[in-house]
C-alpha cells in the first residue's frame, strides 16, 4: 500500500516523531497524570529505589532488563528489547501479550492518546534531552501530498470523500470526526487529537500507534517528509 493510505487514516479524524523524534509524542503534562498508574509499582526519579517494579527514570533508548538492583523475569532479561517509541508503546498497551512471561501484572493502557501522553512524559525523564525533529516545508509538503495522497483524498474546503476523507481543516481536530467517512473502531475509540506529535507518530507507523487501524501502510521513515506533509496539512484551514 502506498503512503496514500496512511493519510487516508491519517486524516481519519484529522491529522509526530521516528524512534527518537517520535519519542516526544503526546502531552507530557497529561502524561504525568497517567504515570500515577506506574508510580504504584515504580519510582520515576533519578536514582529512585526499586519497588515492586524497577526505577523507570531515563529508560528510553536503553536496553530492557538492565536496571541495576532489580530482579527481572527471564522473559524480560532475554527479550533483547530497546525501549524506543514503538516498543514502549506496545508494552504498555498489553505487557503480558508483548513480552510473554513478564511478571508485570499491569493490564495495559487502552487509549492511544494516553499512551502517547505517557511516552511524552517519559521522554522528559532523561539526563540528556532529545534533539528536535526537522522543520517542515509546506511547499514541499504540497508536492508530497499531491503525489501520494491525491488519489484517495481531497484537500480543498468542502472536498469530496474519496477512498479516504477530505483533509481540509483536519489539523487540531479529534480523530474520526470527518463526516461521511467510515472509520475503524480503533480510531473512533482512540481519543486522539491530531496535533504535531500524534500526526507524526501515526505517519511513522500507523499500525503500531493505533492498534486496529485499517491503515496497512508500514510507515514513512523519512522524518523530513513527514514534517513537510504535516506543515502542509496545517495550512488547510
CB 121 within 8 A of CB 44: no
Neighbouring-strand partners of residue 174: 193
Q: What is the pLDDT of residue 15?
A: 33
> Where do the domains of the chain lie?
3-17+133-233, 27-122
Q: What is the pLDDT of residue 187?
A: 85
Sign of CA dihedral 4, 145, 220, 233: negative
Instruction: Please give the CATH topology (third level) of the domain spanning 3-17+133-233.
Output: Cytochrome Bc1 Complex; Chain D, domain 2 (1.10.760)
Give the mean pLDDT per block of 10 residues along the chain (237 residues): 40 34 63 96 96 95 93 95 87 94 94 89 85 81 85 88 84 87 88 80 82 79 86 92
* pTM of this structure: 0.56
Pick the CATH number of 27-122 from 1.10.760.10, 3.30.720.200, 1.20.140.10, 3.40.50.300: 1.10.760.10
Identify the helix (H) or strand (E) that includes residue 133. Answer: none
CB 217 within 8 A of CB 6: yes
Cα distances (Å, whole numbers) of residue 227 to 8, 174, 211: 17, 20, 23
Q: What is the pLDDT of residue 46?
A: 95
Amino acid at each position: 500500500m502506498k503512503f496514500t493510505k496512511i493519510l487516508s487514516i491519517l486524516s481519519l479524524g484529522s491529522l509526530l516523531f521516528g524512534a527518537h523524534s517520535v519519542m516526544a509524542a503526546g502531552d507530557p503534562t497529561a502524561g504525568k497524570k497517567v504515570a500515577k498508574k506506574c508510580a504504584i509499582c515504580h519510582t520515576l526519579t533519578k536514582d529512585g529505589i526499586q519497588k515492586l517494579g524497577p526505577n523507570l527514570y531515563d529508560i528510553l533508548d536503553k536496553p530492557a532488563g538492565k536496571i541495576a538492583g532489580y530482579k527481572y523475569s527471564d522473559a524480560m532479561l532475554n527479550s533483547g528489547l530497546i525501549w524506543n517509541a514503538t516498543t514502549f508503546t506496545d508494552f504498555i498497551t498489553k505487557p503480558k501479550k508483548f513480552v510473554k512471561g513478564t511478571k508485570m501484572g499491569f493490564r495495559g493502557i487502552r487509549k492511544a492518546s494516553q499512551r502517547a501522553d505517557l511516552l511524552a512524559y517519559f521522554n522528559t525523564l532523561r539526563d540528556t534531552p532529545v534533539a528536535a525533529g526537522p522543520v517542515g516545508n509546506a511547499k514541499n509538503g504540497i508536492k508530497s501530498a499531491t503525489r501520494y495522497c491525491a488519489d484517495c483524498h481531497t484537500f480543498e474546503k468542502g472536498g469530496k470523500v474519496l477512498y479516504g476523507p477530505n483533509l481540509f481543516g483536519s489539523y487540531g481536530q479529534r480523530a474520526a470526526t470527518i463526516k461521511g467517512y467510515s472509520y475503524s473502531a480503533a480510531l473512533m475509540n482512540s481519543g486522539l487529537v491530531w496535533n504535531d506529535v500524534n500526526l507524526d507518530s501515526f505517519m511513522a507507523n500507523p499500525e503500531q500507534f493505533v492498534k486496529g487501524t485499517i491503515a496497512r501502510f508500514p510507515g514513512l521513515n523519512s522524518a523530513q517528509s513527514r514534517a513537510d506533509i504535516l506543515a502542509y496539512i496545517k495550512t488547510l484551514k
